[in-house]
Amino acid sequence: MFNNKEKYSKFIKAEAKRLGFLSCGISKASFLEEEAPRLENWLNQNHHGEMKYMENHFDKRLNPTLLVDDAKSVISLLLNYYPSETQSSDSYKISKYAYGQDYHYVIKEKLKELLQTIQTEIGEVSGRAFVDSAPVLDKAWAAKSGLGWIGKNSNLLTQQVGSFYFIAELVVDLDLEYDYATTDHCGTCTACIDACPTEAIVSPYVVDGSKCISYFTIELKENIPQEMKGKMDDWIFGCDVCQDVCPWNRFSKSHNEPLFNPNPELLSMTKKDWEEITEDTFKKVFKNSAVKRTKLDGLKRNIKFLK
């Protein structure tokens, strides 16, 4: 049986590579003991702000066997989204992850294909794909399976390619060979903490989500608090500051996923273009983009706040 575990694990990792994933790691599907008190504390401190959904399904967030019957393994995958070109310097800014098509759909398709290939090759395997869409602690699972460590900005970091990638999982009822967690390489560096415009990184490894620019520009449905005036650094959808300043992101390489390429119009838009954006332009430039989450009204609110 051990040989099968090894054989299946190698096969799955090779398939993940074929589908364009940056890396693939596997861990045992079990209760996340270390994460439980951390998550509880984070919620008790109200670091989730208006994101009340974070309070739901506490047990499921920590235990994948409650999401998939007889779950044995969590297959964690990274998909690079680092762009070859970025927006013009005279532009309001959106997070690099939102340049191209909505990652939920792009990755779901790849995961579906991976699961089908596993079922074809290995036999009757049940599983579920997760892309930031269910109560799964993506970063914790990726770290557990050796794909990187969780940095002081609470993002998953790797020495090889930094942190500009999406994390997804397949939870399956198949015994596999498990990987080991890697070590932390943040050292004494505090670049992310020092650079955060809203001081959302309240202590190393702890981010107050309710102070984060991504939260204000995407999650918060009410008005952005006035005390954030002058601190938003021209971001109107998400924020990349703590990643942009991370030394490990010197090693970021451009992705090769055509669906993540931005609409050329996005890269040439100036502040004036953003301020005059119409429903038609919005629909055209962000046709299948994650930016649609905030809707045109949300973008206009964010732009107005910055002016």
pLDDT digits (tens, 9 = 90+) for 15-41: 999 999 999 999 999 988 888 888 888
User: Residue 180 above 50 pLDDT?
Assistant: yes
Average pLDDT over residues 117-132: 93
User: Residue 275 above 90 pLDDT?
Assistant: yes
157 forms beta bridges with: 149
Q: What is the pLDDT of residue 54?
A: 77
Where in 241-291 does DSSP place strands (E)? none
Known catalytic membership, residue 132: yes
pLDDT digits (tens, 9 = 90+) for 256-270: 999 999 999 999 999
Three-state DSSP class for residue 58: helix
Handedness of CA 85, 89, 92, 95 (dihedral sign): positive
pLDDT digits (tens, 9 = 90+) for 185-206: 999 999 999 999 999 999 999 9
Average pLDDT over residues 84-94: 94
76 forms beta bridges with: 25, 169
Q: Please calculate the CA angle 27-33-34 and round it to the nearest 5 degrees.
A: 95
Instruction: State the chain's maximal CA–CA distance in angstroms.
Output: 64
Q: What is the pLDDT of residue 1?
A: 42
The residue whose two tokens read 């045109």 is 296
Handedness of CA 60, 104, 155, 226 (dihedral sign): negative
Instruction: Select which of 59, 102, 132, 233 is catalytic.
Output: 132
Q: What is the pLDDT of residue 302?
A: 97
